[in-house]
Amino acid sequence: MEKVTGTIVSPKGFHGAGMHCGLKKRKKDLGWLYSDVPCQVAGVFTTNLVQAAPVTYTKALVKKGQAQVIIVNSGNANACTGEQGIQDTATMAQLAGAALAIDPSLVAVASTGVIGQLLPMDTMAQGIAKLAKEGSGRDFQQAILTTDTCEKSVVYQGKIAGRKITVAGCGKGSGMIHPNMATMLGFVTTDAAIEQTLLQELLAELTETTFNQITVDGDTSTNDMVLVLANGQAGNPCIQPNTVEYQAFKEILAAVLTTLAKAIAKDGEGATKLIEVVTRGALDDLQARMISKTIVGSPLVKTALFGKDPNWGRILCAIGYSGAELDVNQLTIRLGEIPVFTQGMPMIFSQEDMACYLENPELVIQVDLGDGTGQGRAWGCDLTYDYVKINALYHT
């Protein structure tokens, strides 16, 4: 497989557009993504018990297995908006379906932005009426952003049973148009042919090691959603479980999801650094992931790395309260490749080498529990003055 340039509409038979309709002051706030033919759809959704109307709506749609359109707005999360919010989501689907002459029951809906305000449906209707049928993938990728500082997208290609297939993804991370919470959206398109149940299984499995392993501030949003659309236009024979083709597709999808997850972590609110934690030698993969995610979520580790301080005591402390089993006397911690703690005792290291390493915009913390074969990664970012500023200075 290889990474190629392109956008969310690079896979065969996908189209997209994005525009400013008026939910935000100036930036793009409305977009759609659709396929020439109905797609197998898979989705994963927030585990927050308070779920926005589009989450409830699209979850039900994914259960039925097919979708052809995703309509997305930013600037308003349509969350905690009661019965009216659910009606408004259905109306968005109706309007998008009508405009594209596609069955509205195949239209998925996603929203991100401020909580607790009704969508201005006149504005939405006018926007949907004006949205281009042949727009650009980049416009769509921009329309889903809030205070993200950059677009997040990636395209991979590979061969499956002799056919070139393309998988593209885009996402929005932890920025907010109104800073209400870190809403995450991810969309993936592919022209590969694959059964819906298999696609759903694969997405759920890979989400555990990608999107579920990132954290910016520990707040699980009401609007999180990742959708995959597969339209089969690449012409490969439908991918079957436990085959070489399945393995090849899984690798490509994993690469797309991992790239998006890291990009979202790196662009966390106020972040100056991407922090990756790699844990090895745990009892199992789950424990390794728990440790990695606990470290990368610790405010004390995050502030230390913002301050370029190799404060391994805080890393060790986070490992201790992660809930994973461990023997401190078997434990090794490295910052980059520099050992700072080995088998229960602090290590002496070159302050110069360390200071130099901590200047990097991407830092890796390596933990080895020396206890088993479990491994897992997690990604996050540092905690900075700007995080506090972004989230404290705004007034609802």
Give the footprint of its own copies on this chain (CB under 8 A).
Answer: 47-51, 79-80, 82, 114-117, 179-182, 217-222, 297-300, 303-304, 306-314, 316-321, 325-326, 328, 341, 344-346, 383-385, 387-389, 391-396
Strand, helix or coil at 17? strand
Question: In 273-322, where do the E strands start and end?
Answer: 274-282
Q: Which CB atom, from 119 or from 167, has the smaller least distance to its own copies? A: 119
| Binding-site residue set for substrate | 146, 172, 183, 269, 391, 396
Question: Which of 50, 21, 26, 172 shows the shortest CA–CA distance to 115?
Answer: 50
Q: How far apart are CA 27 and CA 271, in angstroms?
A: 22
Q: Which CB atom, from 105 or from 343, has the smaller least distance to its own copies? A: 343
Strand, helix or coil at 208? helix
Q: Is 267 left (phi over 0), alpha (psi -120 to 50) or beta?
A: alpha
> Residue 89's CB: how many other CB atoms inside 10 A?
24
Indicate the length of the chain as a whole number: 396
Minimum distance, C-beta of residue 193 to its own copies, in the bound complex (Å) = 37
Is 243 known to be catalytic?
Answer: no
Catalytic choice (112, 183, 215, 259):
183
Strand, helix or coil at 160? strand
Strand, helix or coil at 374? strand
Q: In what order do the strands lie in the sheet with 362-368?
A: 345-346, 338-342, 332-335, 362-368, 274-282, 374-381
DSSP class of residue 236 equals P
Phi–psi pair at 50, nearest 5 degrees: -90, 105
Q: Which amino acid is at 332?
A: T
- Residue that the structure tokens 């809906």 belong to: 109
**Helix 312-321 and helix 299-306, axial crossing angle in degrees, nearest 10:** 160
- Give catalytic residue positions: 183
